Amino acid sequence: MPFIQHVETVNAPYRVNQEETVEVVRELFGEHFSDIDRLLKVFGNGQIESRYFAAPLPWFQQSHDLEEKNELYINEAIKMGIQAVTGCLQEMNTAKEEIDAFFFISSSGMATPTIDARIMNELLFPSHIKRIPIWGLGCAGGAAALSRAHEFLLAYPSAKVLVLCLELCSLTFQRGDTSKSNLIGTSLFADGAACALMTGEDIKQEKISPRTIDTMSTLMPHSEDVMGWDIKNEGLHVIFSRDIPSIIEEWLKPNVETFLDKLNKKPADITHFVAHPGGKKVLQAYEKALAFTEEKTAPSREVLAVQGNMSSPTVLYVLKKIMNQQPSEGDNGLVTALGPGFSSELVWIEWGEKGI
């Protein structure tokens, strides 16, 4: 089975605390909501203390069209992606010539050719690397990327692949959108990049790393209005259904149980819960649905507190935190993330023998 060798993370350049963000939002939205103070409590109640943005806070106080936002997305994504890829390869003492495929996941900006091609050109990667850019998976993208790379490495067990998840969600902020969805998105969204090196089972291991054992993808029929983007002249407008926590409670448990049954496992068998922290209510819904304590979701809560919701890379930040704790041989984990569709991605991982 494939191995996850390393996860490298890169923060966006501008760190802001939640109190600073609240004051900017109060200034921008105060005249549109008579109950602005009540609505702004979402910033304090979300358990987010700080976030990282691709632009400084004053930038968000001005109007920007789609062209300007997307140009900034491309420029900053290339910079952050180069840092993440370079750091990952250097940490693992892996040459770019050893990479066989490059998975790139993003949903917060648009580029053709995609960002992975631009990064490969900047870093002078070999020209025959297989490129697999995937757009539109949103918050499910990190877990989905591990799943797709897992399947690739089952077919090519001597291969090495990069998985780069990169989102600049803050650049989708709509200054003129006074909807509550936009307000909630503003309280949650952040920017970040995470690059994972994964290898096939024929690659000799120098340390105990998590192995991807199995995966499951699930699409909820006719649920397009639960989560996603509306694409308008001004750019990407966030879609958030207020039913997301209840959907998780009612839909996720049987979905997870189906996957675990396939593995002859139960929720109580999960050593490490590697969950995308979509927000405080999402984590509470996970706990309720799977009968988990806050201790089980602690790594996700810690990432949410200092990073916010970065969409696809966030679950890889959680995975990195758990990998840095050096789990014991025999430990396992469930990687889970939910995204537009409405959809679920699940990956079962195990810390086992080093390989051949």
- Check whether 352 has a pLDDT greater than 70: yes
What is the predicted pLDDT for the residue at 353? 64
Reading phi first (left if > 0) and then psi (alpha if -120 to 50, else beta), residue 242 is in: alpha
Residue 354 has pLDDT above 60, yes or no: no
> What structural domains and CATH numbers belong to the chain?
3-199 (3.40.47.10), 210-351 (3.40.47.10)
Beta carbons of 241 and 230 less than 8 angstroms apart: no
pLDDT at 203: 87
Per-residue pLDDT at 204 exceeds 80: no
pLDDT higher for 149 or 61? 149
What's the pLDDT tens digit per position in 221-241? 887 777 777 777 777 777 777
- Give residue 116's pLDDT: 98
Distance CA 13, CA 76 (A): 9
Q: Which residue has 């004053």 as its token pair?
A: 58
pLDDT at 49 over 80: yes
Q: In the prediction, which pLDDT does 31 show?
A: 65
Instruction: State mean pLDDT over 40-50.
Output: 73
Residue 196, pLDDT score = 98
Instruction: Mark whether 139 is an active-site residue.
Output: yes
Q: What percent of the chain has pLDDT over 90?
A: 60
User: Of 88, 139, 165, 195, which one is the catalytic site residue?
Assistant: 139
DSSP for 35-50, written as a single string? THHHHTHHHHHT---E
Q: Are strands 130-135 and 101-106 parallel, antiparallel or unpaired?
A: parallel
In this model, does residue 325 exceed pLDDT 80?
yes
The DSSP-derived string for 172-216 is: G--TT---HHHHHHHHHB-EEEEEEEEE-TTSPPSS--EEEEEEE
pLDDT 10s digits, 120-135: 999 999 999 999 999 9
